[in-house]
Amino acid sequence: VLLVGTVLTLLYLYLARFRNHWKDQHVPHESYALLFGPMLKMLFQPFHEIDIERYRKYGNVFGIFESGRPTLFVADPTLVKQVLVKDFLLLPNRRTTKFLHPLLDNMLFVVPFDRWKVIRRISTPAFSSGKLRKMMVHVESCTRSTIQHLREAAERNEDLNLSQFYGNFTLDLVARCAFGTMLESHSDQSNEFVSYGTKAFGEGISFASVIFFLWPGLAKLLRLKFFNQKTLIYFKKLSFSVMNNRRRERTKQDDFLQLMVDAQESDMLFGDVEEEKYSDFDHDSQFQTDNAMTSKILSEDEALAQCMTFLLAGQGTTQMTIAFTLYLLALNQDAQEKLRKEVDDCFENHGPNPDCDVIFKLQYLHGVVSETLRMFPPGSRHEREATEDYVLGDTGIKVPRGCVIVVPVYALHHDPEYFPDPFTFKPERFYGENASSIQPYTYLPFGAGPRNCIGLRLALQAVKFCLFHSIRHAEFVRTSKTMVPLNFFKGFGIISSSNVTVGVRKRGV
């Protein structure tokens, strides 16, 4: 008994070695909690709600404890730039996440810096202006199908769950671009891809996912699985089959999957690939790497993993951005009518098929999408992990090696100092003189620095194109089934809700 007691005491002292870390540095912080504090919050509240409560209580720089280890929250714009941009080489990684599966552990947004440099460089050409223009064929085709089903729903004056309805649109688009597979999700819910694609996104949080997040070592010891294994096997087999068919038949397509095929089978020389800036959404994303020529730059698992990245990072975020936008427009009819007038004028001035370049330059559409991304950013926070002991700029605040620095994006986006009346939908914030007054590093829907979202331009183009045609062909209204406010999934991941229901009504166009 004495031996057991001694061992447990020593174990606790080791695990609690950071209990005074923030107190000793005079950093505002939550009370120390080794186990149940952070776990209980994650099980019962969405991340973005937890973060904004902390932000209001402790200010723009504060500490918490996750599994007994210190985590620093940084929301001062100058320090945000320090973390995401200036000190990128000191903080090159996101939070260490081990899914214990090669298809997941090799995804772009979780791989460590050394492999990230290679994979990012190979993946970047897929999102160049030329490639995006070619992929617009898929965006247009998926949009046409979606609008046909939208018009049918409007004819029947239906209440439509936007998150499910536009989930079909984004799943079809991801299937074509990342898996070389043609779908019609709206009318074929029994399709295997649709079934497994839906299963790829867990609704809410589980005890196992909390273990993965807070104690990855324990998750490995217990051999916990974060994703449904049948789902992973299906997508691996599908990608492998399409890749092999293209090699055997020597066919090529203008999609992301083709880039992964080329990266595996041929010697590839990468010169300087420019990652173009994209309006308000891109902050200092350029990162210079050495030119590289190697044979089979990506392993099979790495190539397949990037297709999975496309699904996991692109499907839910694009789907929810469209859903949240139309939800906000249903609640704000004046804004919806103003956008509809801009859309109608565009058709009048440019004919029945306005060019995508014209659509993407529409000022009020840009404001509407930007404001939606402010109110409902795809990710509620951005995280970086210290590879060595780190000191935050001139503050002198120390972050131990292996600990995480969090930028609470949702909290920043809802700070009245930066965005007055932050819970009111105001698209005007993002164009004209108002746009130039937004303080840098307070608006970060896609991150900042070299490790920002690689697919932001494709996502924005898909969102704007689909919204443009949706507003043209239907009206969106609040009904008795419209939830105000929305209920969000608890825990981490993207900000999402399973029930974003509004009424759709026919337009006389």
The SS3 of residue 251 is coil
DSSP assignment of 144-191, as one string? HHHHHHHHHHHHTT-EEEHHHHHHHHHHHHHHHHHH-----TTT-TTS
The SS3 of residue 72 is strand
Buried b (16+ CB within 10 A) or exposed e, 368-399: bbbbbbbbbbbbbbbbbbbeeebebeeeebbb
Q: Locate all alpha helices (DSSP H) within 16-63, ordered by sequence.
A: 21-24, 36-44, 47-58
Instruction: Give the integer Cα–Cα distance in Å for 373 and 422.
Output: 12
Instruction: Give the integer Cα–Cα distance in Å for 66 and 50.
Output: 13
Q: From residue 391, how far is each of 17, 63, 442 by CA, in Å?
A: 19, 14, 22
Strand partners, 491: 46
Cβ–Cβ under 8 Å, residues 468 and 343: yes
453 is in an annotated binding site: yes
Q: What is the DSSP letter of 390?
A: E
| Number of helices and strands in the chain (H, E) | 21, 11
Roughly what angle, to the nearest 10 degrees, separates helices 192-199 and 229-249?
130
CA-nearest of 322, 319, 311, 120 to 227 is 311
Binding annotation = 453
Binding annotation for heme = 453
